[in-house]
Structure 1
Amino acid sequence: MLEGRAPETALDDEFQPQGGLPLPPDDLTELQVTIWRRVATSMQGFLTLADYDAVRNYCVLQAHLIEIEEKLKTTGNLVTMNGRTTTNPLFRMRNQLVQNVHLIGSSLGLSPAARARIGSAEKDGEAVDLEYLKLIGAA
């Protein structure tokens, strides 16, 4: 028989899921706050204080991605600079943002594969956030 004291199993408050939705940081734009609410809602029951900065970064990058994609609709993926046709620098920025958003989103459990890994796959038929879709021009 083992003797001794049982190890502490309670995690610090920083790593405990927070009740309710956390307020977004004050420095976020309207679009970033809308993304924050969507993400925080989808992470309810999993979101901890330790996730706060990662969620903020995700929202900022996702908003930048949306803004760049809007600009690319008018400028196109190719531009002429110094008489030569080249890839639009915005297109390169977009590709980097896609990678970073995917990386942070996956670490937060925001992709289907990541949710499956943590055992919280969404149910089919989940309601769509119409406010978010309107802001990005998809509704």
Structure 2
Amino acid sequence: MSTTRPIADHMRSGTFRADRHADKVTLPPAALIEPDWDDLLPGDSDESAKARSDAAALWARTAPVLMISAGLTDAQREALSMFCVAVASYWSVTRELSRTGNLLRGRTGELVKNPLHTVRTMYVNEVTTLRKELGLSPAAAARITRPSADDEDYADAAAGSADVLRLVSDL
């Protein structure tokens, strides 16, 4: 089963062919709008606040780069939102696992594996899948070339976003 590469990836790698790729849908460039983390990750505990700040920090690091390098638009932000929530949840479960330990006492007093291992594995699988989808895996990153500042497509995609331009120029 083959996966379809984004047109922007073909253009970056020099394999774009109009006869094969011209019929694809191209979403107009639009700045990504950060989700409301209080709505996605509700709660009053310190752990909930930490998860919200982790997700927001990950969004701040990842969204500008994906907007420029992969052409991610607001129409596709749900995948990035899910990625940020999954990573923040993974970190939260990992912290709780560290506090409670790898083994717990069962009902009869025997040592059993902490059930949080299963939850953490679920988040690892979700994060891995979303990293591949967003092009954030090491293999995908090796194929991405950073656009030059004088590239017209790069300038058009980043138009109106001084913060994004500042972040990308610092890379």
Distance 1:86 1:103 in 2: 29
Q: Does 2:126 correspond to 1:100?
A: yes
Q: For residues 18 and 10 of structure 1, do their structure 2 counterparts lie closer, same or farther at Cα, with a shift above 3 Å needed?
A: farther
Alignment partner, residue 30 of structure 1: 53
How far off is 1:10 after superposition?
A: 7.8
1:69 aligned partner, one-letter code: T
Secondary structure at the residue paired with 2:112? Answer: strand
One-letter identity of the residue aligned with 2:101: G
Q: Identity of aligned pairs, percent?
A: 33
Question: 1:113 Cα shift?
Answer: 0.7
TM-score, normalisation: structure 2: 0.56
Tell me which protein shows more helix as a share of its residues.
2
What number of residue pairs does the alignment pair up? 110
Q: Which portions of structure 1, spanning 4 or more consecutive aligned residues, are displaced by more than 6 angstroms?
A: none
Q: Structure 1: give runs of 5+ residues left out of the alignment.
A: 1-7, 122-139
> What do you get for the CA RMSD once the two structures are aligned?
2.4
Report the Cα offset of residue 96 of structure 1.
1.3
> For residues 115 and 145 of structure 2, what CA distance do their matches in structure 1 show?
38
Cα deviations by residue, 1:80-123 (Å, 9 ceiling, x for unpaired)? 12122111111111111111101111110111112234x337xx
What residue is the counterpart of 2:155 in the other structure? none
Q: Distance in 2 between matches of 1:102 and 1:24?
A: 22
**Counterpart in the other structure of 1:114:** 140
Higher relative contact order (CA 8 A, sep 6+): 2
